[in-house]
Structures are given as C-alpha cells and as structure tokens.
Amino acid sequence: MNLSTSNSKPTVLIKRVFAHPLLSPLIICLLFLMAYQLLIWVNLIPPSSGISQRQENIIKGQRYLYQKNRPNSIVIIGSSITGGIKAQNIGYQVTNIAMAGSNSKTGLELIKLNSTLPSLLLIEINETISKEIDRQLIESVHHPILDSIRFYLPMFREEYKPISVLVDSLKQTAQSQGPIAEVSEPVTPIANPEFRERFIATMAETQQEKLSEQAIQDLQKESKLVQQQIATLQKNGVRVILFNLPTESRLENTPRRQQIQGLMRTFFPPEQFEWLPEPPSREWRTSDGIHLVPSDAQAYAEFLKTQLINLD
C-alpha cells in the first residue's frame, strides 16, 4: 500500500505541474527548444545563409566570431565588391567576411572583436571607406550577454532562425526538383544585356567629373580612421595588406576612378602600407560595372592565391 502511494506521488506531481496555467506552456516551450538544439547538434538542421542582405551580413559576422574550430589565419574584409570572391577558391585557412552594403571599416571593427586575431588581413581600400561604420550590424553580431549563449547554443544564432532554415530548405527542394541547366555564367544582378550596357554607360558618364574638394576632405578624414584601425591590429602582430579589385576598363579609366585610386595611394602610401600588386592586365567583366562576374571573381581569387603563396 505504501509502495503504491509512493509511486503515485511523482505522477501526481507531474500532473499538477502540467495542469499549472503558467508552468505547462513554459515546460513545453523548453522541451521544443531542447529538441531543436539537439537536432542542430546532430546536423539534422542545417544552417541557413540568410534570406536578406542584412541577415546574410549578420550570419557572416557571427560565424566569424563563434565558429572557433574554423581556421581564420587569413581574413578578407571589404564591401560587396570583395564579397563575390569565394574563400574556398583561395585556400582552406581563408575567411571572407566582406559584406554587401558595408565597408572595410565595419570589417575592421569585427576583426577586433574576435579573441583570435588573423595572422594576415587583406583590406579592400577604395571610395567605399567613406561610408559610416555599421554600428547596428556590430551590435547584432556582438552582444556582451548573448555571446556566450550563442557560442554554446547555436540555435540562438541568426543562421538557425526557423524561418530562415525553412526558406533555405524550400529553395533547395525547388532546385533539386527543377531541371539542371548548363550555363556558362550564373544569373547576374543585371540580367538584361541592353539595360546592363546602358547602366554602365551612365556610370562612366557620371565618373567623368572629379570629386569636389569637400568630398576629398571627407575621404581623407575617413582614411585617417582606417589608418588608426589598422595601426591597432598591427601592434597586435597582424600583417595588413591593402588591395582593390579591378573593374571594367571603361570605368577604370574615367577621371574620377583614376583620381580616387591616386588619392588612396596618397592617403595610404606604399612606403608605409603594404599593397597587393595589381593583377595581370586583362578585360575584366562585371555584372554591373563594379561587381565581377563569377568566372572573373574566380580568376581574381586564383590571382590572390598565387600572391599569398609567394608572400615573404
């Protein structure tokens, strides 16, 4: 009789807990979270790449900060111009955290947040450094309280948000069910050739006019901030190399483009800053005048790989 009473007490307690109007949904929620995290740990729930430009940038930043088992001895930062360069085409120890709509100043702030600094940092240097540091992005990626939670429980990272995982899964399912077409180039941001030509021609026309004195002063001011960021990392043993990707010749040779390139060499003189050599002369193809098409982005990645192998 006593044994029966003793065995029934836990059952009664469980029933009371689940009958409680507050505890019951809380416990169910915790069970779902535990199950979701377990599925992530056993790789049954894959990470998403993001469903918006903003989310893609946050995911890049969080992966850089939280994936400690991933080698980051060589890191590349910059804007969307550099974002099209695939790190795997350069080397296993290379990480590219260049972000669309952002710039190298934001990337430099992310580098400083990582407990392990890279041995080599490649920095895209061009007019995009005139943009402000994306403080909101930094706050989304790095949080003093949430950092430890995100490190040990990946389900709280942006890449494992259920809606993002679901959208990625639906995309992959649709691609696997559709016909596989063999194309020489993936679809570019400006797919219509005629519109692309008009767009680039308009860009070339606007870049016939050089920067104003005020614009030059603003660019110089932002350059000084980048110099300070670089100096901080160099004091901690990071080797910094500056570079800029090529564009189409009709834009490359415009007065403004030539002026900006000259200003960058003035603000970051080769006597004080290490610059990557220019790639071999060729007709670089872009999707919109600025962003290299995938095959040319791969060619530039191979150029980078060669340069890194030959570094002193």
pLDDT value at residue 176 = 65
Give the pLDDT score at 184.
37
Q: What is the pLDDT of residue 121?
A: 96
| Structural domains of the chain, count | 2
Q: Are residues 139 and 265 in the same domain?
A: yes
Whichever domain contains 305, its CATH number is 3.40.50.1110
Residue 106 falls inside a structural domain: yes
Low-confidence stretches of the chain (pLDDT beneath 50): 1, 3, 179-188
- For residues 99 and 115, state if they share a domain: yes
Q: Is residue 147 part of a domain?
A: yes
Q: What is the pLDDT of residue 173?
A: 75
Same domain, 33 and 106: no
Q: What is the domain range of residue 109?
A: 53-170+190-309
Is 7 inside any structural domain?
Answer: no
Residues 143 and 26 occupy one common structural domain: no
Which pTM was predicted?
0.83
| Residue 38 covered by a domain | yes
* Dist CA 182 CA 161 (whole Å): 33
Residues 156 and 40 in one domain: no
Asked, for residue 67, whether it belongs to a domain, the answer is yes
Q: Please indicate, yes or no, if residue 185 is contained in any of the structural domains.
A: no
Q: Are residues 255 and 209 in the same domain?
A: yes
Same domain, 30 and 57: no
Query: What does the alpha-carbon distance between residue 87 and residue 298 come to, in Å, rounded to a whole number?
Result: 10
Same domain, 201 and 281: yes
Q: Are residues 115 and 21 in the same domain?
A: no
